Amino acid sequence: MTPHINAKLDDIAETVLMPGDPRRAKWAAENFLTNPRLVNEVRGMFGFTGTYKGKPVTIHGSGMGMPSLSIYANELITVYGAKTLIRIGSCGAMQHHVNVRDVVIAMTATTMSTPSRGIMRDLNFAPCADYNLLEQAVKAARRKGTPTHVGGIYSSDVFYDERPDLTETMTRHGILGVEMEAAELYLVAARHGAKALAICTVSDHLITHEALPPEDREQSFGDMVEIALSAAFGEE
């Protein structure tokens, strides 16, 4: 149906969880959805649709970085009718009180540049989460007892950053963590009237340099997926 998604129109649910890694989309679908089926594999960007407690859910990779996510978020909303998009990914902690394995729920996403910059022009738009999704995610995290932090994150457009001064500025202003997709997700959702939220598991720490071993990541990411699913459907 699009250059990047070959799913049929009714193959994509209104609720979409978006990990960056397509293999993580496969893992999450197989572990949290009932009867997941592959609905997209163009360019190796897997998308799976199944049900969660009887409700349709799609888990679709976004790729790394805001340009890649922007493509998929735009097409999922404007072509396939997705109404709720929740990023499930990893982030690097930028505060001493945020620990590896904790969950960060992004109320806002600061950025220097996104693919939407050309549309916004000189407007300093403030990308933020949908409040209802945010509230439900916080409730779900509390019920699970998952160590969780809510606040601002930083969406970087580079992975190999050479700006220690920028990291210091973000840390000094209370930014909880850094990742590479949330700001553009919030912008695209706002533009098209969809709801969006970013939930991230802390995989490494920019201050202490602690990092989550690869073999531990899937288990730690499970809490994040459960929180996202609970938030999407307003479970009590």
How many other β-carbons are positioned within 10 Å of the β-carbon of residue 79?
15
Residue type at 232 in one-letter notation = A
Element of type H or E holding 218:
helix 214-232
DSSP string for residues in 114-165: -TTHHHHTT-----B--HHHHHHHHHHHHHHT--EEEEEEEE-S-SS---HH
Q: Which of 102, 204, 216, 223 is labelled catalytic?
A: 204
Structural contact between residues 178 and 203, judged by C-beta atoms closer than 8 angstroms? no
Determine whether 215 is exposed, middle or buried from the number of CB atoms within 10 Å of its CB (0-12, 13-18, 19+).
Answer: exposed
Across the chain, the runs of DSSP E, i.e. the strands, are 15-18, 34-40, 47-52, 55-60, 84-93, 103-111, 148-155, 177-179, 195-205
Whether 204 is catalytic: yes
Give the span between the Cα atoms of 59 and 32, in whole angstroms.
10
Tokens of 102: 């904790």
Q: Which residues are catalytic?
A: 204
